[in-house]
């Protein structure tokens, strides 16, 4: 009996620490995110116009589900072809969950505003808007704790800035700057790494549009819907049906010059587009190679198209329609 208890005690001595390790690996969150395929959604369900030209097909956004992973989940994510594992950098890891969520929401709102303005102007529809400073969309807390995500910068060294290029020109070769915000004024010094430790975007306010726009309240983050949102709005504002009866999916940011910018989670987005039987998937040039790898792995029938500008995208749809008439 004594020998049995000794053996049992030895086994407990071995297995309890092992169980504790597995519990920690499976439950303790790490400084990283796991990207998981999500689904596609109609752009028109998020951005609605009062008066539209009807289309036979549809434009769809595609999203990725993001969650902070445990050590075990991160390990499994690296082994799984359908997921990606993103490790936070030094500055990213210092942001709170609330700050990261706010950054994502601001980026989403910027993408919506950019899409509306660019689509209306390209379609020759009236739209009135103005620049209300520059909104802080990211901060590096390792070198800057004065600014907060969501702050609105009104002036740099007492000067009102009219565009993003001018903003960065004002910072060029300066070691100290004074920023006038909506609620305070701060002085910042350039860090040893050469940066001031923040990122900004123009904060445009739309006052009036020729066609009324209604933006739905959704739980979404990031600006990756910029391109496809702009396409959907442009298609609805113009008489020509650019969909050609197809289910069109796209990803990529959009700026005021109509340039399509890179995004994250492109492999997971290809999977979502394939799963929902999309006909065409537009992807930014910078993300094309990763998208192509997943596309080939799936042996997908979705037409994968890389684009660099909004104009290229519209021209592709025009030529596609003509070649299939």
Task: Please say if the pLDDT value at position 325 is more than 50.
Answer: no
Which residues of the chain does CATH 3.30.230.10 include?
33-125+211-325
What pLDDT does residue 321 have?
A: 59
For residue 107, what are its two tokens? Answer: 């980026």
Out of 79-88, 231-240, 312-321, the most confident range is 231-240
What pLDDT does residue 322 have?
A: 58
What pLDDT does residue 51 have?
A: 84
Q: Look at 67 and 55; give whichever has higher pLDDT.
A: 55
Residue pLDDT, tens place only, 125-171: 999 999 999 999 999 988 888 999 999 999 999 999 999 899 999 98
Query: Which residues, 6+ apart, have CB-to-CB distance to 270 below 8 Å?
Result: 281, 283, 291, 294, 295, 298, 300, 302, 304
Q: Please determine, looking at this structure, whether the domain spanning 127-209 carries the CATH number 2.60.40.10.
A: no
Task: Using alpha carbons only, give the angle 241, 247, 252 rounded to the nearest 5 degrees.
Answer: 90
For residue 304, what are its two tokens? Answer: 């994968």
**Sign of the alpha-carbon dihedral angle for 158, 164, 169, 173:** positive
Q: Look at 295 and 145; give whichever has higher pLDDT.
A: 295
What pLDDT does residue 83 have?
A: 61
Q: Look at 100 and 10; give whichever has higher pLDDT.
A: 100
What pLDDT does residue 199 have?
A: 93
Model confidence at 94, in pLDDT bands (50, 70, 90)? confident
Task: Please say if the pLDDT value at position 78 is more than 60.
Answer: no
Task: Please say if the pLDDT value at position 298 is more than 70.
Answer: yes
Which residues of the chain does CATH 2.30.42.10 include?
127-209
Query: Which residues, 6+ apart, have CB-to-CB distance to 312 below 8 Å?
Result: none
Of 14-28, 103-117, 230-244, 308-322, the range with the lowest mean pLDDT is: 14-28
Q: Average model confidence (pLDDT) for the chain?
A: 85
Distance CA 288, CA 262 (A): 9
HEC string of 245-268? CCEEEECCEECCCCEEECCCCHHH
Distance CA 234, CA 240 (A): 10
Average of pLDDT values for 169-194?
A: 91
- Topology classification of domain 33-125+211-325: Ribosomal Protein S5; domain 2 (3.30.230)
What pLDDT does residue 87 have?
A: 54
Average of pLDDT values for 49-61?
A: 92
What pLDDT does residue 22 have?
A: 41
What pLDDT does residue 273 have?
A: 95
Residue pLDDT, tens place only, 236-293: 999 999 999 999 999 999 998 899 999 988 999 999 999 999 999 999 999 999 999 9
What pTM was estimated for this model as a whole?
0.84
């Amino acid at each position: 009996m004594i020998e049995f208890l000794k053996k049992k005690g030895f086994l407990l001595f071995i297995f309890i620490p092992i169980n504790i390790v597995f519990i920690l690996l499976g439950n303790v969150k790490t400084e990283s995110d796991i990207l998981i395929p999500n689904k596609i959604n109609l752009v028109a369900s998020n951005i609605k116009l009062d008066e539209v030209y009807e289309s036979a097909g549809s434009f769809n956004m595609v999203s990725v589900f993001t969650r902070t992973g445990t050590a075990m989940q991160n390990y499994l994510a690296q082994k799984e072809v359908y997921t990606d594992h993103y490790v936070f950098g030094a500055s990213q890891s210092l942001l709170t969950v609330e700050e990261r969520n706010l950054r994502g929401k601001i980026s989403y709102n910027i993408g919506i505003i950019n899409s509306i303005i660019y689509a209306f102007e390209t379609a020759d529809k009236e739209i009135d808007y103005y620049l209300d400073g520059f909104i802080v969309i990211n901060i590096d807390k390792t070198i800057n704790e004065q600014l907060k995500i969501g702050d609105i910068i009104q002036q740099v060294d007492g000067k009102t800035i009219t565009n993003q290029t001018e903003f960065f020109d004002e910072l060029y070769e300066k070691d100290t700057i004074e920023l006038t915000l909506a609620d305070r004024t701060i002085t910042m010094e350039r860090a040893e790494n050469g940066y001031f430790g923040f990122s900004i975007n123009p904060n445009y306010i739309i006052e009036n549009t020729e066609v009324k726009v209604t933006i739905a309240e959704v739980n979404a983050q990031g600006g990756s819907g910029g391109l496809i949102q702009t396409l959907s709005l442009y298609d609805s504002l113009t008489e020509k049906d650019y969909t050609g009866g197809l289910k069109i999916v796209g990803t990529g940011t959009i700026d005021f010059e109509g340039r399509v910018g890179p995004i994250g989670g492109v492999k997971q987005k290809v999977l979502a587009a394939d799963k929902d039987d999309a006909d065409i998937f537009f992807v930014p040039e910078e993300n094309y190679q990763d998208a192509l790898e997943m596309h080939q792995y799936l042996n997908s029938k979705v037409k994968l198209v890389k684009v660099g500008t909004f104009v290229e995208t519209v021209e592709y749809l025009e030529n596609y329609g003509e070649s299939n008439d």
